[in-house]
Chains A and B, each alone.
Chain A
Amino acid sequence: EVQLVDSGGGLVQPGRSLRLSCTASGFTLGDTSMNWVRQAPGRGLEWLGFIRSKTFGGTTEYAASVKGRFTISRDDSRGIAYLQMNSLKSEDTAVYYCARGGFDYWPNYFDYWGQGTLVTVSS
C-alpha cells in the first residue's frame, strides 16, 4: 500500500527555518517525482514546488512565491523527501502536504498525498 507520512511541523518564530519530511512506503521513492503543496487555514491549495526523479536529473521547480526561500531535496536510499523553509513569515502558516507526482518531468497530477503537517509561524 502506497503511503506518505508528513512530519516536522510545529510552532516556529518569524525569520527562523524549519525542515519538513515526507516518508514514503509501498513504492520506490526514487522512481517518482515528489511535490509539496500547502493550505493556509480556511484557504485553498497552493503548489510550492517539486523534485524530479534521478532519471530526470533530480532537478527542482518552484512556485514564484517561494523561490529562493524554500528548497526541496530527496534521499532515495531512505525513502524521504524534504522541504527546507527559510526566513519564515506569518503568511507561511499552513498545513503542508507532500504529494507523489503522477508524471515525472513536469508537475501534473498528484496521485497520493501525505496526511499533512501544520506549520505555525508566530512569535
Chain B
Amino acid sequence: KQEVTQIPAALSVPEGENLVLNCSFTDSAIYNLQWFRQDPGKGLTSLLLIQSSQREQTSGRLNASLDKSSGRSTLYIAASQPGDSATYLCAVRPRSGGYQKVTFGTGTKLQVIP
C-alpha cells in the first residue's frame, strides 16, 4: 500500500526566503505526481504535475523535482511571498493496481512572514 509523507508538517519563513518542501512515497511504481496548494477551508489548486518519465517541472517561482528510485519529490519555492502561505500537498498516482486511486500526502503548512 502506497504511503505518502510530507516533512516538515509546518514551516515558517521570512518573506523573500527560498524554501524546499519534501514529499516521500514508499512505492516507486508511480504514473505521476502532482503538487497542490490548499488555502484554509478551500479546495485544491493544482501547481505542477510531473510524469514518471520527467525529472522536474517549473512554473514561475515554483520548481518540482522527482526522483522515483528514491521515492522523493521536492517543491522549491523561490523568493517566498506572504501570498504563498497555504498548505502544500503532494499526490501520487500509481502505475498499476488501480491507477485511479491517487494517494495524498499529509501536507506541509507554510507560513511566510512579512
Q: Do A and B bind each other?
A: no
